[in-house]
Amino acid sequence: MLIDKMITLENVWFSYEDEHYVLRNISLSVCEGVTVIKGPNGSGKTTLLKIASLLLKPKKGHVIVEGTSFWSASRSVREKLRRKVVYVHEKPYLFKGTVYDNIAYPLKIRGYDLSRVVDVAKEFGVGKILNTNVNELSAGMRQLVALARTFVFKPKYVFLDEPLANLDDENKSRIIRIIEKYARKGIAIVVATHMNINFRKEIVSKIAFMNNGVIVKVSKYK
């Protein structure tokens, strides 16, 4: 496993405001394939995901991205690294406007060509509603739009927070298939969930079990 293809948390502690630590001494590395973080609600999965996806700064410990300690790096380095990482909320926020606007957003701010939007939308099953206003979408559709918006700019690390919550069976299996497909392409995908998700064994690299702010067990597969 090459160190320059990983995000690693080293002895990370985190607390909101002056409260007690919600994460205690977490060490975990994320690499190609699917990493599953399993644990009950309130065990600290979301916080862990936000730290690993560089949105929250840990109180103690380090976040190493491709060999660089992220929070001690310069601003420009941080912005460059951050652009490879994306976090998707359990109930993703969609920007005002159409489905197309949302999927095009990450490309626009990077100055990329927008021609990819239509293909990616089709792949995620939202190709026919590109011009629909996001106000009119169901929860499942919103999740699919958010995922399309996530994968459209070819990120290297994707963090999905409860991606299957609020979905019907059809959409659940569609999203599982999509995750497996991108994991096979070499993208590191981290899925935090309290459910049992049946991914194909060969694409799951590890499962970390969390409880009460600590990782209690890690099962490695590859």
Partner 1 sequence: MEGLYQEVLAITLRTLWISGTATILAISWSIPLSLILISSKNRISIFIQDFFNALISLPTVVLGLALYLILSKSGPLGFLGLLYTPLAISIGQSILITPILVSMITSSFQKLRDEVWETAITLGASEFQASIALLREGTLLLIRAILAGFNRAVGELGVALIVGGNIKGFTRVLTTTIALELTKGNFELAIYLGIVLLTLSTIVTVAIRSLGLRGAYR
Which residue ranges make up the site for partner 1 (CB under 8 A)? 53, 55, 79, 82-83, 85-89, 92-93, 95-96, 105-106, 109-110, 135, 149-150, 153
* 108 vs 185 by CB, closer to partner 1: 108
- Measure CA 120 to chain center: 18
CB of 135 or CB of 198, closer to partner 1: 135
For residues 36 and 190, give the distance between their C-alpha atoms in angstroms, rounded to a whole number.
6
The least CB distance from residue 198 to partner 1, in Å, is: 27
Nearer to partner 1, 105 or 221 (CB): 105
Q: Looking at beta carbons only, is 87 or 199 nearer to partner 1?
A: 87
- Least gap, CB of 17 to partner 1 (angstroms): 9
Which is closer to partner 1, CB of 78 or CB of 184? 78
CB of 221 to partner 1, least distance (A): 27
> Whole-number minimum distance, CB 33 to partner 1, in Å?
21
Minimum Å gap between C-beta 73 and partner 1 is 15
- Give CA torsion, residues 206, 125, 84, 56, to 10 deg: -70
The HSE-up count of residue 10 (CA atoms within 13 Å, CB side) is 11
Alpha-carbon dihedral 169, 175, 177, 183, rounded to 10 degrees: -150
Task: State the Cα–Cα distance between residues 190 and 91, nearest whole angstrom.
Answer: 16
CA separation for the pair 47, 15 (Å, rounded):
9
CA-based R_g, the chain, Å: 17
What secondary structure letter does DSSP report for 98? B
